[in-house]
A and B are shown apart, each in its own frame.
Chain A
Amino acid sequence: MSSTIVSTDNLTKRYGQRTVVENVNLRVPTGSVYGFLGPNGAGKSTTMKMLLSLIQPTSGEVHIMGRPMTRATRRGLLGSIGSLIEAPPGYPHLTGAENMRLVQRLLGLNSQQIDEAVRAVRLQDQLDKKVRNYSLGMKQRLGIAMALARQPQLLILDEPTNGLDPAGIEEMRDLLRHLASNGVTVMVSSHLLGEIDKTANVLGILSEGRMVFQGGRAELMTASNPDVLVACSHPVEAVSTLRSFGARQNAAGEVAVSGVDDARTAGIVAALVGEGIGVFGVRREEQTLEDVFRNLTAGGGL
């Protein structure tokens, strides 16, 4: 088994002149919960559809479980990949049980596999209801049960928490953790970091079709390089002295300097001391993961 269950090489999708996904190199570790983040329209759904070969890349390659995913190989590979893309599936005029039987027949599954999938999403008591009478949360769970029924090695979920209430979101997180603990690799997308950062152990952030970050939470915080904040005796003069660094005074009266590494921070302190300005403290701005995500997807990058 490869250590990465999904990998892409320079995956690109263009519609005419418009580039939707550009040179994306995904690496989804086997057994991980991979949080695929990005604002609406960043290209997450398009990327996920390319992973499933539902749309063809303009250039680049997709490898799933070490095999190239193409039209020729997709049928064989899809037997090991569960997915929930866009709206949850489910024929509204049929009951939950009848919908599950469609999946059972389509994939040649046995009743035990269906029962296990239904129990995993705790839908066993609602199967006799018609899907048109399901809440959105129940439809999402049915969609996930359909994806789980084939006992996939990889589960690809596109914004599964969309429209769910907080209890539903928490339930979804529990489900993803449970699946991961059973060895299923889960790739889950969201436009809200808070919805999946507690569950995902690897994050990939997409912005305007480009991958701006991929790695763990700690790496994300480390790599984000927050502003240096200097508390000093004469902030106005300090801003003037550090004009070439793009310094500014913040609401707390500190001098803020963006995009400087530790060596340049030492230079800033030396410059202030040289001008006779008293330096009381130097620190990096505290950032939440949300701040980092927002900065990255607002057109920044690492």
Chain B
Amino acid sequence: MNTRAVVNEFAKMRHLRVGLVAAFMIVPITGLSLFAVVTNPDFTPNAPDAWNALLAGMSLGIPMLSPLLLAILASRQTDIDHTSNGWLMQSASGLTPGGVCRAKLVALGVVVTTTTIITSLLVLIAGVFMGITVAPPIGHWAGFTACMLIINLSVLALHVLLSAKVENQLVALGIGALGSIVAVFSQGLPAAAAHLTPWGYYALAQAAGYEGAQIKALPISYPSIAALGVLVATIFLILTYRFDRQEA
């Protein structure tokens, strides 16, 4: 890993309002998660399954907003190299396009990892402040957060590749918006159908949801999400290796 290239990607983030996009990944998702609880008349802080309402809120909020916001993050960070002749300048300095893409993923990955973990922790802390007295399901919560992180990073990696290859960033943003719709609607689809797109995996990581009139904890498809992570990492490495050899 080229550390200098990663630090440069952080430097390129200045004036790109990455912080604002990151805040949009935290505040609205946290708000959506809490909204589902606050507006639920059946919510009882002392109930043994009180945490499930918050997990269900996050299970809906993250798929609803993350695909579009990840597309925006990747697109903004990649488009600057299209508009600045940056690919060629860096190639002529010995840093190939594949190396630039890998550096972008690492830098943006730090941002996405931070926002995903902060969101999860904020919702957890909010639950405590809302008076939930039972102990949180730490294992399930951590598993859900890790799975959402893997899916977010996978979607981010695919968007970095897309934005690097297709100069018109409207395409990337359109696909991101489509991803948000697919991610939400996948929760109503059979598990097999959710495996077909990267956004469908948000449904496979759903930690809680309605079963009848009650919100219950749901099993997370850990193997499927691990497979997604491995598959996307492999695709990303192969394609960025090919970028390294592509001609300017």
Chain B: how many interface residues by the 8 Å CB criterion?
25
CB-CB under 8 A for A106 and B8, given A54-B247, A55-B248, A98-B14: yes
B1-60 interface (Cβ within 8 A of A):
4-5, 7-8, 11-12, 14-16
Please tell me which one of the listed residues A83, A93, A105 contacts residue B7 in the complex, with CB atoms under 8 A apart: A105
Q: Given the complex, which residues of A lie within 8 Å of B92, measured CB to CB?
A: 52, 54, 78, 81, 83, 85
Is there contact, CB below 8 Å, between A93 and B15?
Answer: yes
A55-81 interface (Cβ within 8 A of B):
55-56, 71, 74-75, 78-79, 81
Q: Does A27 contact B (CB under 8 A)?
A: no
Is there contact, CB below 8 Å, between B248 and A54?
Answer: yes
Please tell me which one of the listed residues A54, A106, A131 contacts residue B95 in the complex, with CB atoms under 8 A apart: A106
Is there contact, CB below 8 Å, between B88 and A93?
Answer: no
Docked pose: A63 CA to B45 CA in angstroms:
75
Q: Given the complex, which residues of B lie within 8 Å of A81, measured CB to CB?
A: 92
Binary contact readout A82-101 vs B (1 if CB under 8 angstroms, 0 otherwise): 01011111111110001001
**Minimal beta-carbon separation of B244 from chain A (angstroms):** 9
B75-108 interface (Cβ within 8 A of A):
80, 83-86, 88-95
Is there contact, CB below 8 Å, between A106 and B11?
Answer: no
CB < 8 Å A-B pair total:
74
Q: Does A200 contact B (CB under 8 A)?
A: no
**Minimal beta-carbon separation of B88 from chain A (angstroms):** 6
Q: Does A234 contact B (CB under 8 A)?
A: no
Q: Does A177 contact B (CB under 8 A)?
A: no
Please tell me which one of the listed residues B11, B83, B94, B247 contacts residue A105 in the complex, with CB atoms under 8 A apart: B11
Please tell me which one of the listed residues A74, A89, A107 contacts residue B84 in the complex, with CB atoms under 8 A apart: A89
Q: Does A108 contact B (CB under 8 A)?
A: yes
**Minimal beta-carbon separation of A158 from chain B (angstroms):** 10
Is there contact, CB below 8 Å, between A102 and B94?
Answer: no
Please tell me which one of the listed residues A92, A98, A107 contacts residue B93 in the complex, with CB atoms under 8 A apart: A107
Q: Given the complex, which residues of B lie within 8 Å of A83, measured CB to CB?
A: 92
Binary contact readout A123-154 vs B (1 if CB under 8 angstroms, 0 otherwise): 00000001100000000000100100010000
Please tell me which one of the listed residues A49, A88, A92, A106 contacts residue B90 in the complex, with CB atoms under 8 A apart: A106
Q: Does A103 contact B (CB under 8 A)?
A: yes
Docked pose: A117 CA to B12 CA in angstroms:
21
Q: Given the complex, which residues of B lie within 8 Å of A49, measured CB to CB?
A: 247-248
Please tell me which one of the listed residues A75, A89, A101 contacts residue B85 in the complex, with CB atoms under 8 A apart: A89
Docked pose: A139 CA to B11 CA in angstroms:
20
**Minimal beta-carbon separation of B11 from chain A (angstroms):** 6
Q: Given the complex, which residues of B lie within 8 Å of A75, measured CB to CB?
A: 94
Q: Given the complex, which residues of B lie within 8 Å of A88, measured CB to CB?
A: 85
Docked pose: A71 CA to B80 CA in angstroms:
26
Docked pose: A86 CA to B89 CA in angstroms:
10
**Minimal beta-carbon separation of B221 from chain A (angstroms):** 41
Binary contact readout B192-223 vs A (1 if CB under 8 angstroms, 0 otherwise): 00000000000000000000000000000000
Docked pose: A105 CA to B248 CA in angstroms:
23
Is there contact, CB below 8 Å, between B93 and A78?
Answer: yes
Is there contact, CB below 8 Å, between B8 and A54?
Answer: no
Is there contact, CB below 8 Å, between A105 and B4?
Answer: yes
**Minimal beta-carbon separation of A186 from chain B (angstroms):** 16
In the complex, given contacts A55-B247, A93-B16, A130-B15, what are 18 additional A-B residue pairs having Cβ atoms less than 8 angstroms apart?
A54-B247, A56-B247, A74-B94, A85-B248, A89-B84, A89-B85, A89-B89, A90-B85, A91-B80, A92-B80, A94-B15, A102-B8, A103-B93, A105-B4, A105-B11, A106-B5, A106-B8, A106-B93
Mind listing 28 A-B residue pairs with CB under 8 Å?
A54-B91, A54-B92, A55-B247, A71-B245, A75-B94, A83-B92, A85-B92, A85-B248, A86-B88, A87-B85, A89-B84, A89-B88, A90-B84, A91-B80, A91-B86, A92-B80, A93-B14, A93-B16, A94-B12, A94-B14, A94-B15, A98-B14, A102-B8, A102-B11, A106-B4, A106-B8, A106-B93, A106-B95
